[in-house]
Amino acid sequence: MTPVFANSAWISTRERFILRNGVWRKRWLKVRYGVFVHPDAGPVLIDTGYTVHSVQGPGRSRWLRAYGRAFAPKLNDDAQPQPFLSRFGLAPRDITTVIVTHFHADHVSGLSEFPNAQFMCSRAAWASLQRNGNFQNIRHGVFAELLPDDFATRLTPVEDRPRQGVQHLPDGYDLFGDGSVLSVPLPGHAAGHFGLLFPQLKEPLLYATDTQWVIDALPRAARPCLMPRLLSDDYDAMRRSTDHVQAFRNSGGRVMLCHDDAPSLFDVEEGAYL
């Protein structure tokens, strides 16, 4: 059971913002989301990436329109959920579960496209979204308007799954009860932010989501300071989470990040297949 990732859109930033001692050149980053087929649970999506719902769709609030103008993602039409899933003979209605690693717009934009899916997310993330006022959520890139109206009734907190120890990482939660996919808490970037560990692959894979923006920034000496301090939910927690991810990588594990611009063996553009 191998995950495959698509790049929903490109976003640009200055390298200096995402890499210490980086230059001021513009760097184009990916916005990944993924899919895998679990032998019992069926087709499972990892986040949704950017879709037209967040950047082009009608009925968006002025705040979401402003967000779209600020980040200006360039959508990849061929990598939107419907065409991406069709490569594997799947359609959005076939998705049984969407794992929501956190509630930033570039991870939940397409949730309304999956009418039959249950949602797995962190209880802490969901509690934070409900507790915060609209302004606080928007300030952190969270737009409740992107969630389906019945999100709460289709929600399963990952913390309700069996807990399992993981070497070099915080204890994870066994999402399907067979040890094939663990949600691993990696707090700091956003409330309830977690990564996904696939420990049964020949070379264990940690999809560390947004712990950093690029792989080059995992070592301490390369980590940016200004942007994470401004944008992260908890900067110190983000530093500790990055330490965990780097320790896992140093132990021989493979790490992927949502926005890293380097190609991965698990990217569909590189020929990865379910």
* Domain regions of the chain by residue span: 4-270
Spatial separation of the C-alpha atoms in residues 187 and 211, rounded to whole Å: 8
Q: Please state which of the four CATH numbers 3.40.50.2000, 3.60.15.10, 3.40.605.10, 3.50.50.60 is assigned to the domain occupying 4-270.
A: 3.60.15.10
Q: Is the pLDDT of residue 245 over 80?
A: yes
SS3 67: helix
Mean pLDDT of the chain: 95
Can you name the residues that pair with 120 across neighbouring β-strands?
A: 99, 156
Per-residue pLDDT reduced to its tens digit, 147-192: 999 999 999 999 999 999 999 999 999 999 999 999 999 999 999 9
Q: What is the pTM of this model?
A: 0.96
Average pLDDT over residues 114-136: 95
Confidence band of 250 (pLDDT split at 50, 70, 90): very high
Maximum alpha-carbon separation in the chain = 48
DSSP 267: B
Q: Is the pLDDT of residue 237 over 90?
A: yes
- Token pair 């020949």 is at which residue? 202
Confidence band of 55 (pLDDT split at 50, 70, 90): confident
Q: Is the pLDDT of residue 90 over 80?
A: yes
Spatial separation of the C-alpha atoms in residues 195 and 56, rounded to whole Å: 28
Closest residue by Cα to residue 39 from 181, 208, 139: 181
Average pLDDT over residues 14-40: 95
Per-residue pLDDT reduced to its tens digit, 194-230: 999 999 999 999 999 999 999 999 999 999 988 888 8
Q: How many CB atoms lie within 10 A of CB 236?
A: 11
Q: Is the pLDDT of residue 57 over 80?
A: no
